[in-house]
Structure 1
């Protein structure tokens, strides 16, 4: 196998009695857009800070392009970091902000200007080179921060929730721009986020974090369609989890199972051969293009059913509250999570010599 851009071996970080990252192994390939996804406090940002050199691990190693950089300070690592708050110098114009890192590295002035302008052109901001950061929109400031990181031509670009401060529409536009930019420059991107949709939109692979450990590493499609644990099924997208008494009551067998809301059909959409159950629509959540129906099954549990607004008007959808309905799903869409607990975590774990 080729040498990975980033490899973490037995990485552990403790803060007093709290273990933030627990004996973690991870391999990130060259040119990958790799996301670390998880709730607050799951350890993903701590891992990013250890890759950058801002935190020293309590145990384990950080390898960059095959070199052990665990003891090296941040400035001696071939990585750059983009933060959520941009950290632009307000007294400098855009071009000077982008040039700053090159000036610190004592790159000759003629080269600095050319490289800074090229970096700004790569994020489509060349025409705004002489503006101050306060004269830019949030999305433009974010692109300046990206250009400033890219101008140093790092092997790895670390991004710590860089889109978190943007409004929803701009955030979605920036997701597409960021992925396109990564394809063009070919640099390994390591992206930290708690937003599942953001990770699914941009990533080649995703690591889902929980309590300082990795639950699963997979492509977006694999992660969504075939989660390895109940945590992943519940955290990545919306899922109906059937376990305990609910599983035999609805599915006729014991264990832990997951069914995605869009895989469940209502009434006339229930096809022959589907597993079916009767229930009552407890509520309807209108989300514009789709509706979420909360169906209390006669057998006990409540399922979320997603339907696109293709036929019913909003009034018709809302009028289904309190109605008896039949829900159905294909057996192939029932994800069996039984037994997938500890062995599903850290799939890349290797035996240490």
Structure 2
């Protein structure tokens, strides 16, 4: 597949701060690509470098095989959608969408036809004569998207465009945005700190940490096979088992993660027979958190770590789950659910401490 964006040795320093540090990255033509990471990880700086709003300290940027490193933003075949949308309040929806074409001196009839086509693409047919104040937040977001798409760029850059929307509308727009990308077939590069957004929409995701890519993978690979404890803790909720806890519970040294939904919680009397295919840990339920569709139980292991257990609320056992606080339980999970990690890097905020290895053989140095 042709490459839409190629970054080689890309770096951006602000004084002593290395916002982007020697980055190599290829993004395929027609791909929905997300850059995910916490604030200060470098993802937005990379987007601004691609757009031309910042110049790199070192490295090269190619769009469609052409070196654009020194070109200004208007000389690059990209458009950017920002979180604040920047819609002109004194213009109608149609005039907002046509604005870029007017600057390029596209004839009026062509402007009108392309604007109507762009509005139809974002499902805003018939809204051309309205003013921005007459639109909902989601509709204003789609006007900004139409204004970017009307120029038919090679690449569309999106800088956390859903951040100002409420949760329900944001989830709705995630689905619509992915469908729009499929319809228009151009490359979308999406910046977000919201892992749910990235998992929902992306073909591939790059997880950023301190100016570098920690892991580059598909959503399934990223969630099921995190490459480091940083990725495991940032993308979803993870239980980390290492050191004495790993040796005690699994019988092996190493560092491993298991997702909360992979863990089952049983009464001590229901202990399964030892079969070598499962890990079993005894603990006490410290807290139970009801989340509507699911319940999370926080369990302090006797071995000295803490695990989170998640189960869907598919039956009428919610009251029983809430009453488990303070009770002794057994946690059981398949060794196949354990993911060994390669390094002893720091655990990011949001990750729970306490994790197991998949098998002693897997974790032998």
| TM-score, with length taken from structure 1 | 0.94
| CA-atom RMSD in angstroms | 1.5
Shift of 1:313: 3.7
| Structure-1 residue corresponding to 2:227 | 228
| TM-score, with length taken from structure 2 | 0.91
Q: Which moved more, 1:246-255 or 1:149-158?
A: 246-255
Shift of 1:312: 4.0
Q: Secondary structure at the match of 1:291?
A: strand
Q: Does 1:276 align with 2:275?
A: no
Q: Cα deviations across residues 95-124 of structure 1 (Å, max 9, x unaligned)?
A: 000000000111111100000011001111
| Structure-1 residue corresponding to 2:131 | 132
Shift of 1:20: 0.3
Q: Does 1:321 align with 2:325?
A: yes
Contact 2:256-2:339 at 8 Å conserved across structures: yes
Distance 1:263 1:19 in 2: 38
Shift of 1:271: 5.9
Distance 2:344 2:221 in 1: 15
| Structure-1 residue corresponding to 2:10 | 11
Number of aligned positions between the proteins: 341
Identify which of 293, 299, 303 aligns with 2:297.
Answer: 293
Shift of 1:236: 0.4
Q: Cα deviations across residues 67-93 of structure 1 (Å, max 9, x unaligned)?
A: 000000000000000000000000000
Contact 2:227-2:342 at 8 Å conserved across structures: no
Contact 1:270-1:329 at 8 Å conserved across structures: no
Identify which of 313, 324, 327 aligns with 1:309.
Answer: 313
Contact 2:249-2:279 at 8 Å conserved across structures: no
| Structure-1 residue corresponding to 2:165 | 166
Distance 2:272 2:175 in 1: 37
Q: Secondary structure at the match of 1:222?
A: helix
Distance 2:79 2:39 in 1: 23
Shift of 1:203: 0.1
Shift of 1:326: 0.8
Q: Cα deviations across residues 253-309 of structure 1 (Å, max 9, x unaligned)?
A: 111110000000011797654211111111001000100000111111010000111
What does residue range 161-310 of structure 1 map to in structure 2 within 5 Å? 161-267=160-266, 273=275, 274-310=278-314
Shift of 1:340: 7.8
| Structure-2 residue corresponding to 1:156 | 155
Distance 2:115 2:154 in 1: 18
What does residue range 26-65 of structure 1 map to in structure 2 within 5 Å? 26-65=25-64
Shift of 1:321: 0.4
Shift of 1:146: 0.3
